[in-house]
């Protein structure tokens, strides 16, 4: 690739890509497969910790096509190979800045600038965690931020769900399908969740709410979780309760810091797309996956929206006469 200095610090390729895909979870990789097969020769800037949230999961049993399940990292590996096979180019670095104010769009990786006719944003979202060292130690060994993904591994066990919003209500209820008992652990004495969802939880015979409690430590034998240490937020009392799983449902953060001020976001920070499409407010910039979805948040829905974004992008480029 030939490069020419733009300023003393920045270098750029002379090449203008058809499409740059930012982010390499199932949304980005599916967009890459479709864009590459459409001969757009996409450039994916996959990030230094590529693969997204699936890299943090163990077994994925609900992704169609894998009868016996597949691990999250293996699923990402095969998707990436598939995208590569059709000609996707990869850069394993983090995007540090974007400029979507004029075309071609500009994407910076440190001092290196890349240009493209179109962009697909698929930077995902990250689950929020409590930030305890023991929580990290038992990640995927009993600690999870996704009941839909990992709930089935807790058949007939006792689990805790932390949070007081709609996600916590939904996850607690979902977990009752498997667990024999679900403790909903909330730091306050009332929920911020909608009344209808709270009522379902409060009425559920398998769910016990532990109000005014926070998890201060996850305890186990190094391989699995067996207890949670809880602190009462009112009187400071500490207790240990037997539980084999801990599900965090304290919210997600969309990875949109890079795009603030350039793309229209919802109040909760997720990218706004035009209903039923991947179009953002900027023509030529598309968004797919969890970065624009705070409702479904599944690998398969992310992959589906990656396909939508590639098709929208391909048709837009054709209409613009750019490809
Ligand atoms: P929310 O931000 O609504 O709730 C997060 C919850 O986690 C709050 O109860 C908060 O406590 C608690 N929390 C945050 N940080 C900590 C912490 N460090 N320690 C302990 N507890 C903590 O997030 P949700 O994911 O629940 O919901 C996000 C959005 O998605 C909402 O608008 C929700 O309505 C929507 N949603 C809708 C669904 C549906 O309609 N089917 C399903 C799921 C989500 P506190 O209350 O004390 O601040």
| Residue pLDDT, tens place only, 146-157 | 898 899 999 999
Which one of the listed residues 74, 99, 149, 293 is annotated catalytic? 149
Ligand 1 in reach of 251 Cβ (< 6 A): yes
Residue 162 Cα to ligand 1 midpoint, Å, equals: 10
Predicted model pTM: 0.79
Give one word for 39, left, alpha or beta, with left for phi > 0 and alpha for psi -120 to 50: left
Ligand 1 in reach of 44 Cβ (< 6 A): no
Residue 321's pLDDT is: 87
Preceding peptide of 104 cis, ω within 30°: yes
Could you confirm whether 313 is annotated as catalytic?
no
Contact by Cβ (8 Å): 24, 120 = no
What are 78-85's contacts with CB under 8 Å, separation 24+? 79/26, 79/29, 79/30, 79/33, 79/303, 80/24, 80/29, 80/50, 80/51, 82/29, 82/33, 83/29, 83/32, 83/33, 83/36, 83/44
Atom number of ligand 1 nearest to Cα 252? 25
Q: How far is it, in rounded angstroms, from Cα 63 to Cα 287?
A: 21
Residue 192 Cα to ligand 1 midpoint, Å, equals: 7
Quickly state the pLDDT bin for 5 (edges 50, 70, 90). very low
Residue 87's pLDDT is: 97
Residue 165 Cα to ligand 1 midpoint, Å, equals: 3
| SS3 letters across 251-282 | CEEECCHHHCCCCCECCCCCECCCCCCCECCC
Structure tokens at 301: 């829905």
> How far does the chain reach from its first CA to its final CA, in angstroms?
21
Contact by Cβ (8 Å): 60, 54 = yes
Residue 1's pLDDT is: 38
Ligand 1 in reach of 167 Cβ (< 6 A): yes
Residue 191 Cα to ligand 1 midpoint, Å, equals: 9
Could you confirm whether 307 is annotated as catalytic?
no
What is the dihedral sign for C-alpha 235, 236, 238, 239?
Answer: positive
- How many residues comprise the chain? 323
Quickly state the pLDDT bin for 9 (edges 50, 70, 90). low
pLDDT at 171 over 80: yes
Residue 3's pLDDT is: 39
CA distances from 114 to 37, 65, 118, 190, 235 (A): 22, 36, 12, 49, 56
- Exposure letters 226-237 (e unless 16+ CB within 10 A, then b): eebbbbeeeeee
3-class secondary-structure state, position 21: strand
pLDDT at 27 over 70: yes
Q: Pocket of ligand 1, candidates 160, 165, 234, 296: which has the most ligand atoms within 8 Å of its Cβ, to mutate?
A: 165
Chain mean pLDDT for the chain: 94
Ligand 1 in reach of 187 Cβ (< 6 A): yes
pLDDT at 8 over 90: no
Question: How many C-beta atoms lie closer than 10 Å to residue 211's C-beta?
Answer: 16
Quickly state the pLDDT bin for 178 (edges 50, 70, 90). very high
Which one of the listed residues 74, 99, 150, 232 is annotated catalytic? 150
CB-count burial class (<10 Å; 0-12, 13-18, 19+) for 275: exposed
Q: pLDDT tens, 246-288?
A: 999 998 999 999 999 999 999 999 999 999 999 999 999 999 9
Residue 305's pLDDT is: 98
- Over residues 96-110, the mean pLDDT reads 97
Could you confirm whether 150 is annotated as catalytic?
yes
Ligand 1 in reach of 220 Cβ (< 6 A): no
Ligand 1 in reach of 254 Cβ (< 6 A): no
Ligand 1 in reach of 161 Cβ (< 6 A): no
Residue nearest to atom 38 of ligand 1 (CA): 166
Q: pLDDT tens, 111-123?
A: 999 999 999 999 9
Quickly state the pLDDT bin for 7 (edges 50, 70, 90). very low
Q: Pocket of ligand 1, candidates 146, 167, 217: which has the most ligand atoms within 8 Å of its Cβ, to mutate?
A: 167
Residue 84's pLDDT is: 97
Ligand 1 in reach of 312 Cβ (< 6 A): no
Atom number of ligand 1 nearest to Cα 294? 30
Ordered alpha helix ranges (H), the chain: 26-37, 72-85, 133-137, 147-150, 166-175, 195-203, 299-320
Percent of the chain past pLDDT 90, that is, above it, reads 87
Contact by Cβ (8 Å): 32, 42 = yes
């Amino acid at each position: 690739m030939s490069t020419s200095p733009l300023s003393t610090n920045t270098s750029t390729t002379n090449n203008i890509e058809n499409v740059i895909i930012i982010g390499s979870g199932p949304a980005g990789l599916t967009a890459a497969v479709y864009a590459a097969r459409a001969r757009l020769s996409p450039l994916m800037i996959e990030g230094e910790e590529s693969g997204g949230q699936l890299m943090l999961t163990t077994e994925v049993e609900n992704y169609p096509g894998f009868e016996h399940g597949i691990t999250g990292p293996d699923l990402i590996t095969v998707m990436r190979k598939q995208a590569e096979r059709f000609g996707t180019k990869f850069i394993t670095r983090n995007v540090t800045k974007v400029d979507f104010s004029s075309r071609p769009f500009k994407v910076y990786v440190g001092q290196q600038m890349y240009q493209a006719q179109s962009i697909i944003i698929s930077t995902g979202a990250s689950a929020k965690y409590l930030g305890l060292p023991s929580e990290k130690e038992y990640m995927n060994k009993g600690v999870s931020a996704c009941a839909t993904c990992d709930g089935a591994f807790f058949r007939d066990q006792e689990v805790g769900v932390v949070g007081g919003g709609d996600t916590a209500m939904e996850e607690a209820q979902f977990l009752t399908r498997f667990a024999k008992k679900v403790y909903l652990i909330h730091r306050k004495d009332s929920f911020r969740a909608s009344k209808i969802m709270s009522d379902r939880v409060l009425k559920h015979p398998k769910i016990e709410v532990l109000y005014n409690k926070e998890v201060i430590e996850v305890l186990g034998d190094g391989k699995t979780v067996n207890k949670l240490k809880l602190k009462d937020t009112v009187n400071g009392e500490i207790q240990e309760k037997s539980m084999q799983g801990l599900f965090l449902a304290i919210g997600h953060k969309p990875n949109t810091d890079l795009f603030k001020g350039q793309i229209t976001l919802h109040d909760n920070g997720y990218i706004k797309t035009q209903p039923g499409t991947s179009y953002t407010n900027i023509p030529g910039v598309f968004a797919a996956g969890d970065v624009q979805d705070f409702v479904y948040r599944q690998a398969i829905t992310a992959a589906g929206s990656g396909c939508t974004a590639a098709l929208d992008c391909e048709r837009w480029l054709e209409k613009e006469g750019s490809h």
